[in-house]
Structure 1
Amino acid sequence: MNPETLKSTASAAQRSPAFRILARVGYVVLGIVHIIIGAIAISVAIGAGGGEADQGGAMEQISRVPFGTVVLWVIVLGLVALAVWQIAEAFLERDPDSKKKWGRRVKEIGTAVAYFAIAATALVYALGGSSDSSQSSTTFSATLLANPGGVVLLVLVGLVILGVGIAFIVRGIRKSFEKQLSLPAGKVGDGVRVLGVVGYVAKGIAIAVVGVLFVVAALTHDPEKAGGLDSALKSLAALPFGQVILWLVGAGLVVYGIYCFARARYARL
């Protein structure tokens, strides 16, 4: 399939009303996942337990509610549609500046991969299975460290994840997420901006801590220190005033989830 055919297919998909609705549903379910993760983090911060503060933990909580399996399938469909939308955006990127164009394409493909990963986790639970992201991260780290140059590779993985976290924080502070929205004037638009700033900064902090854990695992040659989002959030609790920090980040993730609901309504699709 040549590039022009791919662009034509991507454009046709974006023009489809049904596909647009599914993409907006994707933002809604993304919001639900983040709210649950944030709520689990808050429960850990206040000493009430709460389970795994990551995508797997969120899917497990959803699977326990009435019609949870149906909700999980909606999450799968919505996030797959959202991922395909991001890929279509990458193919249709038309910025005349070649560096900016490819930079945006890499970002859009990376976002699509993240959506596919969350959808895959939801699919596992929808089919009656379970997952442990922290264990997967440890296994991945151990595999890398067992190979020549593994320390360098694991540091690079950590730095990339750290960079993604910092990018989220910068996007929130600069309010650059507004470019993806069609916000109304007045208090509603201002409210969505506040949700975006708080949400992006909180999510960026959580992702950045994951990156730091990978770097620490590489430098100490200890794959057990590498972990996913759950390990990152819980490691915040070990810091001075850690419970307060974890509570704030958890609350910020809840805010990001609410922002995703607003994004479902105002996203430029």
Structure 2
Amino acid sequence: MSASSANPAAGAAREAQQSSAMQGLARGGYVASGVLHVLLGWLAVQLALGRTSSEADQSGAFRTLGRAPGGALLLWVVAVGFAALAVWQLVTAFVGERGREHQAGLRIKSAAKSVLYGVLAGISVQYASGGGTSGGSAQKGLTAQVLSWPGGRWLVGLVGLVIVVAGVVHVVIGVRKRFLRDLTGVGGRAVGEAVERLGQVGYVAKGIALAVVGGLVIAAGATADPARAGGLDEALRTIRDQPFGPVLLFVVGIGIAAYGVYSFARARYVRL
């Protein structure tokens, strides 16, 4: 008896996961991710050049997109893409990746990604509906709430450490080109050198930014000061304020934009 017949729910989920409609929508989610990261990279570059007062984070990116011609419609399209990718990742967390169903770590990773893409879909809907708040302010408010709990400082520090580890993992993935495992073709050879380079630069740059965000969260836990728990915008400004910071921030911004372009290619080549 097959697993699908033994578990009808899993069989239905597997059928939905492998449907062309679901996979097409999921690929659209990677396009949405590409749009978001290209805008993040552009805002980071503008920040390095001293030409913007907008927040260089997801909130600033969504706000910038909303100001473009047809921005509200674009935000709704992006929201649908992120929502579809969140659903696909949730289904994958339930039934596993095709050919790798028994790898629990991959299921946990898919579950975490589902939450992330779901949050991004929600934020996009907020901005499409005319709302939306500062990402940094929201993070500081949440950090202040957690710090008020018993053992809150340790919990905040632990979250910061997890973010730092995630940043380091991104750097390792980029340097070792491990992202090619998720693309079509044996060893990723089908994608071409340009996509490889974009992925490498993009993952490393995104990893650096995440590591700085995590460091700020750890500092907030260590000092019990929620004002130090800034998001991506504050992390990029921290990079800018270091010696040779504007140059480094410019490079990081280009790298984040490269990750966005890689995401466009990923929408085409990712193995679903």
TM-score between both structures, scaled by the size of structure 2: 0.92
The answer for the alignment partner of 1:103 in structure 2 is 105
The Cα offsets for residues 15-53 of structure 1, whole Å up to 9 and x where unpaired, read as 222211111111111101000011001001011115111
Distance 2:255 2:175 in 1: 14
TM-score between both structures, scaled by the size of structure 1: 0.93
Describe the SS at the equivalent of 1:11.
Answer: helix
1:115 to 117, 125, 131: 117
1:93 shift after superposition: 2.2
Asked if the contact 1:145/1:221 (under 8 Å) is kept, the reply is yes
1:176–1:96 Cα change, 3 Å: closer
Describe the SS at the equivalent of 1:103.
Answer: helix
> Residue type of the partner of 1:238?
D
Runs of 5+ in structure 2 lacking a partner? Answer: 1-5
Q: Determine what percentage of the aligned residue pairs are the same residue.
A: 44
The answer for the alignment partner of 1:55 in structure 2 is 58
Distance 1:154 1:104 in 2: 25
Question: Within 5 A, what are the aligned runs for 1:206-217?
Answer: 206-217=209-220
The answer for the alignment partner of 2:89 in structure 1 is 86
The Cα offsets for residues 82-132 of structure 1, whole Å up to 9 and x where unpaired, read as 11111222222277896xx22211111111111111111101001110211
2:245 to 242, 245, 252: 242
1:245–1:5 Cα change, 3 Å: farther
1:96–1:126 Cα change, 3 Å: closer
Distance 2:159 2:189 in 1: 41
2:199 to 196, 221, 230: 196
Distance 2:234 2:13 in 1: 37
1:63 shift after superposition: 0.8
Asked if the contact 1:7/1:88 (under 8 Å) is kept, the reply is no
The answer for the alignment partner of 1:176 in structure 2 is 178
Distance 2:64 2:128 in 1: 12
Say if 2:159 is the partner of 1:146.
no
Aligned residues: 264
Say if 2:126 is the partner of 1:124.
yes
Asked if the contact 1:41/1:50 (under 8 Å) is kept, the reply is no
1:265 to 240, 261, 268: 268
Instruction: Tell me how large the CA RMSD over aligned residues is.
Output: 1.8
The answer for the alignment partner of 2:3 in structure 1 is none
Distance 2:240 2:147 in 1: 27
The answer for the alignment partner of 2:234 in structure 1 is 231
Describe the SS at the equivalent of 1:51.
Answer: coil
Say if 2:71 is the partner of 1:68.
yes
Distance 1:260 1:201 in 2: 14
